[in-house]
């Protein structure tokens, strides 16, 4: 006999349900605005840097010139990774997804952190751990890619920014200014986005008084799912399927006619446009012009115009990031790990905030199964 469900307010996927109070970021759906601690993300991407953004998220304020210089130096000094991490990555199957590699890398890295065994409530230790996590993420993603190709890891240059370090280690050559600008902008724009699935999972983890590394691994594991991370990967595969600008209009017409999924458009949190997409589109198209490869930007223009005119749907940040990364020579299966390089700044900020005023996260479930059944002895069951 089925019991009657208890009448609780319920929203599938918990859409629109407040799950906590945070000072880290605010998404204003009506105004298509995203702010990190009160600062518009567009301004941070255009006028600031990922290092400024990471400092803001972790330390709750924008740094002054001295604080920023010290923070950059600290990140540079912490970028080196223990050999045991590389050994663990090398031991994985060669066809393992890079998200599996970075998840494993953080699991191994945790025990090498000198503050790893500090209590989860030790705020100063958490700040130090957050810096090490942000510093080493790019090194592990880039050198993990090299290991998968059968190449030796490259030692990071302490003088490099996060974007420079990532591009240098990935390609083996010094990046040019425009590529650094584009990568830095993408890291800033991807750094934080409220109580998304992976960030919330990270907070649930540390709310048990687990550690920051476990929270980051939980976040990465959640981001691994195609309904969260990977949208930029699918957007690039879609663009490559279109191939040339002269194919774009027919492709989008057919896709709309047959109600196909158009990757990189729309977002659950924004009623109108994704503010992050505006600046990312600008620098992605500039990169195409500067590199002499404008066809992806041309395809993007046709898709963006058609989607806006016919469906009133704008691109989200994953759409321009997809072809920007492709123009930077980044393999498609590294797009989501690069997302990790950015988002660990948000993960650690949320973990620290959760632990500052912690309460175990334990929601209710609405039971909708059988009730009051009679136990039947094993010998009498059909």
Which are the catalytic amino acids?
Answer: 267, 318
Please identify which residue in the block is written with the tokens 């196909």: 260
Residues sharing a CB contact under 8 Å with residue 9, sequence separation 6 or more, in sequence order: none
Q: Edge to edge, what strands does the sheet with 33-36 contain?
A: 25-28, 33-36, 39-40
Q: Are 284 and 42 in contact (CB under 8 A)?
A: no
DSSP helix/strand/coil, 11: coil
Give how far the C-alpha of residue 35 lies from the chain's centroid of Cα atoms, to the nearest Å. 16
310 and 259 Cβ atoms separated by less than 8 Å: no
Instruction: Give the relative orientation of helices 177-190 and 335-356 as an angle to the nearest 10 degrees.
Output: 40
What is d(CA 305, CA 281) in angstroms, rounded to the nearest whole number? 13
Cα–Cα dist 296/326, whole Å:
9
For residue 219, the 8-state DSSP code is: H
Q: CA 79, CA 160: separation in Å to the nearest integer?
A: 10
Are 108 and 85 contacting, i.e. CB atoms less than 8 angstroms apart? yes
Residue pair 297/214 in contact by the 8 Å Cβ criterion = no
Task: Give CA–CA dist 375/227, Å, rounded.
Answer: 41
In whole angstroms, give the CA distance from residue 35 to residue 304: 24
Burial of 227 (0-12, 13-18, 19+ CB in 10 A): exposed
Torsion-angle region of 243 (φ positive above 0: left; ψ -120 to 50: alpha; else: beta)? left
3-state secondary structure of 39: strand
Q: What are phi and psi of 241, to 5 degrees?
A: -65, -40
What's the Cα-to-Cα distance from 187 to each of 54, 182, 183, 190, 339, rounded to whole Å? 10, 9, 6, 5, 7
């Amino acid at each position: 006999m089925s019991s009657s469900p208890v009448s609780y307010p319920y929203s599938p996927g918990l859409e629109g349900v407040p799950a906590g109070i945070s000072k880290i970021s605010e998404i204003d759906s009506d105004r298509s605005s995203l702010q990190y601690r009160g600062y518009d993300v567009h301004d941070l991407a255009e006028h600031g840097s990922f290092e400024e953004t990471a400092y803001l998220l972790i330390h709750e304020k924008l740094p002054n010139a001295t604080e920023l210089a010290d923070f950059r130096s600290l990140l540079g000094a912490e970028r080196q990774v223990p050999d045991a991490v590389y050994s663990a990555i090398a031991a994985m199957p060669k066809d393992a997804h890079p998200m599996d590699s970075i998840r494993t890398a953080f699991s191994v890295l945790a025990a090498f952190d000198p503050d790893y065994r500090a209590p989860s409530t030790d705020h100063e230790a958490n700040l130090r751990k957050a810096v090490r996590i942000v510093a080493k993420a790019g090194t592990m993603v880039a050198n993990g890619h090299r290991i998968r190709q059968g190449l030796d890891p490259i030692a990071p240059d302490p003088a490099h920014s996060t974007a420079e370090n990532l591009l240098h280690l990935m390609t083996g050559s010094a990046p040019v200014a425009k590529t650094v600008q584009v990568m830095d902008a993408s890291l800033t724009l991807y750094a934080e986005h409220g109580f998304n699935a992976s960030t919330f999972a990270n907070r649930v983890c540390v709310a048990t008084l687990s550690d920051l590394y476990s929270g980051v691994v939980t976040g990465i594991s959640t981001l691994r799912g195609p309904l969260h991370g990977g949208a930029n990967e699918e957007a690039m595969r879609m663009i490559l399927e279109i191939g040339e600008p002269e194919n774009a209009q027919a492709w989008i017409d057919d896709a709309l006619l047959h109600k196909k999924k158009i990757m990189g458009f729309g977002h659950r949190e924004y009623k109108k446009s994704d503010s992050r997409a505006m600046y990312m589109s600008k620098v992605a198209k500039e990169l195409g012009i500067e590199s002499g490869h404008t066809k992806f930007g041309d395809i993007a223009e046709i898709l963006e115009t058609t989607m806006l005119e016919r469906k009133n749907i704008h691109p989200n940040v994953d759409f321009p990031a997809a072809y920007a990364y492709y123009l930077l020579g980044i393999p498609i299966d590294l797009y989501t790990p690069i997302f990790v390089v950015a988002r660990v700044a948000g993960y650690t900020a949320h973990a620290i905030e959760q632990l500052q005023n912690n309460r175990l996260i334990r929601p209710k479930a609405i039971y909708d199964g059988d009730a009051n059944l009679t136990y039947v002895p094993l010998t009498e069951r059909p």
